[in-house]
Amino acid sequence: MPNSPALIDRHGRTIRYLRVSVTDRCDLRCRYCMAEKMSFLPRSALLSLDEMALIAERFIERGVSKIRLTGGEPLVRRDAIDLVRRLGRHVGTGLDELTMTTNGTRLVEHAGALADAGVRRINVSLDSIDPDRFRHITRHGDLRQVLAGIRAATAAGIAVKINTVALKGLNEDELPAILAWTVAEGHDLTLIETMPLGAIDEDRADRFVPLTRVFDTLAQRFALVRNAHDSGGPARYWQVDGSSTRLGLISPLTGNFCQGCNRVRLTTEGMLYTCLGHDDSVDLKAAIRSGGLAAVDAALDEAIAAKPAAHDFNVEAGAAPAVSRHMSVTGG
């Protein structure tokens, strides 16, 4: 199809960043993200990887320059590497960057293939570097497996950024140690406030830590210098003086970043969400199966025109989740 106009919403924001949830399934059960007993989508409900690639390629044609593959855990889906290879062919010819967010459990197996496909940077979700605490947060995870995966990615030439959700009573006291570890290992670190997405087995108000407080604690130990780096996402960055490590803060509650939002999210079942904190969506699976890429284009125009100005997150005690779907459905 010929090139189509750029995706610009009614607030004047140009959409340059697509996050694709390859699967809603995950091999961990992190307490702030999922209930212990989850019901996942039947495989018959999912986009095929070919459909996923076709939709992503249409986004590239319409000006998206960065794609992040997420989950769930993207590498638990069979043949996910085939999707990485296909989209990787567009890096440098329309796509500036193809990245992935992963929990790291399968990186030992797949790091080389990711690098060969053109992935140069990944985010690894890691909420503790203490083996027992890591197992508690993830309910059964093995920290050694994840650390081995991080080493494998680094050896393959992939830059690793650590994503850590700040959690009161679980890892808040460990955040200075995690930053010190990333400095020693040469990784960047992004800290994230917990978000009210999907029902879990705890009240999120009991776990919420404002990153303003975390930053003040870290600044007492580390020399943090404001950094103008822009990864294309919502993080604000500081440089840890004397090191190569950047500290990013993603603060959807204490530092709303919606004004510059350039992102949309495609779920594994083909729903396109233009805001993480709203239920408004269009069905791209139905569009591509009924009318091909022309119908996808029409659905994209409809979705972008309706993109809300901002999310409406609330983590007060007893507050209902902002949306019923879990982060693993929309893409972490």
The binding site for GTP consists of: 19, 68, 101, 161, 263-265
User: Facing residues of 311 across strands?
Assistant: none
Measured between alpha carbons, how far is 307 from 116 in angstroms, rounded to an integer? 35
Measured between alpha carbons, how far is 295 from 289 in angstroms, rounded to an integer? 9
Structure tokens at 68: 């992040």
Binding site membership: which residues? Answer: 19, 26, 30, 32-33, 68, 72, 101, 125, 161, 195, 258, 261, 263-265, 275
Binding site membership for [4Fe-4S] cluster: which residues? Answer: 26, 30, 33, 258, 261, 275
3-state secondary structure of 66: strand
3-state secondary structure of 270: coil
* Longest CA–CA separation in the chain, Å: 58
Determine how many CB atoms are found less than 10 A away from the CB of residue 125.
Answer: 23
Binding site membership for S-adenosyl-L-methionine: which residues? Answer: 32, 72, 125, 195
Which residues have a Cβ under 8 Å from the Cβ of 255 and sit 6 or more positions away?
Answer: 211, 212, 236, 249
C-alpha distance from residue 164 to each of 36, 117, 123, 274 (Å)? 20, 26, 10, 24
